[in-house]
Amino acid sequence: MLKYILHRIALLIPTLVGITICAFAFVRLLPGDPILAMAGEHGVAPARYEELKEQFGYNLPIWQQYARYVGEVATGDFGVSISSKRPVMEEFKILFPATMELSFFAMIFAMVLGIPAGIFAAVKRGSWFDQSLMGTALVGYSMPIFWWGLLLIIFFSGYLGWTPVSGRIGLQFFFKPITGFMTIDTLLYGKWDAFRSALSHLVLPAIVLGTIPLAVIARQTRSAMLEVLGEDYVRTARAKGLSPSRVVGLHALRNALIPVVTTIGLQIGTLLAGAILTETIFAWPGIGKWMVDSIFKRDYVVVQSGLLLIALIVMAVNLIVDVLYAVINPRIRAA
C-alpha cells in the first residue's frame, strides 16, 4: 500500500512542473501587461515604462523570470500581489475557506438530490420519471452558470424576497473570523441568528454551483445502478424473496456507489471552475473571484501562484480519492 502511495506521489512531480509552466505561460500569453493595466487611462510615458519594467523584473529574459519564479515557489514564497502589494499566500488563506465552504454546500446539495434521483431513475428505467430526469440532468449539465445565477437572484431574492441577493452573511453581523468558515464561526461565537443568516446566504450560490455536479452525479448513479441491477447477485437476492427496497437499498446501492464516490471526488475540479462565475455573481469573497480580478488586472504574480495553489489542491484531492479507491478496491493496488 505504501509503495502504491509513493508511486502516486512520484507521478505528481511531472504534473507539478507542467502546471508551473502552464500557469507562468498562461498569464504572459494574454495580450496586455500589468504595467499598462495599472497605469489606467493615463498611459505611461515610454521612458517610465522601461523603468517600471526593470523595477518589476519584466525586462529579464523569459527563462530567467521562470527560473526565479520556480526558485521562489520551491522555497514556499508565492510572491506579492502586484496590485494590492500583499503576499499572495496571505490573501489565499483568507479567501480559500469561503470557496471551500461554498463548494462543500454545493456538493451536499448535489449529492442529497443527485443520488436518490439516480437510483429512482434506474429502478424505474424507461418511465416518464427516468426520461424527464435524464432530460433535466442534461439541461443542468449544460446550464450557463452566469445566466442561471442571475435568474435565481431575480426570482427568489428580487421577486419573492425569500433569500438574500448576495454576500456571505447579513451586514449587521460583524466578528473576527476564527476558521474562516462562516457557518462554523457563527456557531463558535454562539450566534444562532448569524448562523441562520450565513445559511440563507449559502442557499442560492450553493444551488448554482451544485447544479452541474448534481447532473453528473444523477447520471452516474443511474448508470452505475443499472449495471449493478443486472448482476447475478441482485437476481439471486431477488430470487431469495427479499423486498425490492432491500435489494436496491442494501445489495445494489453499496456496489453502485463505488464509481459514484470517484465521480464526486473528481467534481472538485468542476466546483473550482464553477466557483469563478458563481463567486463573481454572488459577491462571494473566495478564490474564484480573486482569480478573475487578478486576470483583469494582469496581476501576473497572483494568477501564476493562485493557479498553482488551486492545482495543488485539486491534485491533493485526486490523490486522496485514488488512495481511498485503492482501499475500497484491492484490485487497483496491483495495477
Q: Which of residues 164-193 bind other proteins (CB under 8 A)?
A: 164-168, 171-172, 174, 177
Q: Which of residues 297-316 bind other proteins (CB under 8 A)?
A: 298
In the complex, minimum distance from the CB of residue 219 to other proteins, in angstroms, rounded to a whole number: 30
Question: What are 22's three cell numbers?
Answer: 502552464
Distance CA 223, CA 125 (A): 10
Q: Show the site string, 274-293: x = touches other proteins by CB under 8 A, - = not.
A: ------xxxx-xx--xx--x
Q: Which of residues 87-106 bind other proteins (CB under 8 A)?
A: 91, 94-95, 98
Which sign does the torsion angle of CA 322, 323, 327, 331 carry?
A: positive
- Residues in binding contact with other proteins, number by CB under 8 A: 55
For residue 179, give the DSSP letter.
S
Residue from 10, 14, 29, 46 touching other proteins (CB under 8 A): that is 46
Distance CA 65, CA 81 (A): 16
For residue 239, give the DSSP letter.
H
Binding segment (CB under 8 A) for other proteins, from list 122-130, 156-164, 216-224, 326-334: 156-164
Question: What are 259's three cell numbers?
Answer: 464509481
Distance CA 287, CA 270 (A): 14
| 80 lines the binding site for other proteins (CB under 8 A) | yes
Question: How far are the Cα atoms of 4, 6, 15, 329, 330 from residue 333, in angstroms, in the given order?
Answer: 6, 12, 21, 8, 5
Binding segment (CB under 8 A) for other proteins, from list 4-12, 114-122, 149-157, 264-272: 149-157
Instruction: Taking each helix axis as running N to C, give the angle between helix 253-281 and helix 192-229, from 0 to 180 degrees, rounded to the nearest 10.
Output: 140
Cα angle for residues 136, 287, 83 (degrees, 5° grid)? 140
Residue from 25, 154, 250, 328 touching other proteins (CB under 8 A): that is 154
Residue from 15, 21, 32, 124 touching other proteins (CB under 8 A): that is 32
| 40 lines the binding site for other proteins (CB under 8 A) | yes
> What is the binding site for other proteins (CB under 8 A)?
30-33, 35-46, 48, 52, 55-56, 80, 82-86, 91, 94-95, 98, 150, 153-154, 157-158, 161, 164-168, 171-172, 174, 177, 280-283, 285-286, 289-290, 293, 298
